[in-house]
Amino acid sequence: MHNKVLVSVKSNYMADQTLPRERYVYSYTITIANVGDQPAQLISRHWLIRDARNNLQEVKGVGVVGEQPHIDPGESFTYTSGVVLETETGIMEGTYQMRADNGDVFDAEIPAFALVPPHAIH
C-alpha cells in the first residue's frame, strides 16, 4: 500500500485589498492530488508563514476552508484561501496531516511558495 499526496500552489497578489505600508493581501489556490493507491482524508493543516522582516506566524487547524476532504486515488481537491502580511513579500510552507482509509497517518508536504506582487519581480 502506498500513501502519496502531491500538493501544488499558485499565489496571487490582491492589489485591490492591499493598503501599502500597512497590509499586503494574497490569495493562494491549492490542489491536493492523491497519487497513491489508498483513499485519504485531510485531517489538519500546519502552516509556517514568514514575512520580509523574518517574522514567523504559525497556523494550525482542523481541515481546510471548513472541510476535511476525502480524496480517492487519482482524484484531487482544490481550494482557495488567503493571507495578510505586514510586509510586501513573504513565504509560506507547511504540511497537511492525512489519514488513509487503512488507518495510516502521514504528512503531505506543502512546498514553500513566494508571496510577491508582480511589480516586485525583476
* Long-range contacts at 51-57 (CB < 8 A, ≥ 24 apart): 51/85, 51/86, 51/87, 51/89, 51/90, 52/85, 52/87, 52/88, 52/89, 52/90, 53/86, 53/87, 55/86, 55/87
CATH number, domain with residue 89: 2.60.40.1470
Residue 122 lies in a domain: no
First-residue to last-residue Cα distance in the chain = 45
Identify whether 111 is part of a domain.
Answer: yes
* Cα 32-118-85 angle, rounded to 5 deg: 70
The predicted structure's pLDDT at residue 1: 45
Range of the domain at 87: 5-116
What stretches in the chain show pLDDT beneath 50? 1
- Residue 90 domain flag: yes
> What is the count of structural domains for the chain?
1
Q: Looking at the domain assignment, is residue 121 inside a domain?
A: no
* Residue 14, in any domain of the structure: yes
N residues, the chain:
122
Q: Is residue 66 part of a domain?
A: yes
Report the pLDDT value the prediction gives residue 121, as an integer from 0 to 100. 64
Q: Which residue has the cell 490542489?
A: 31
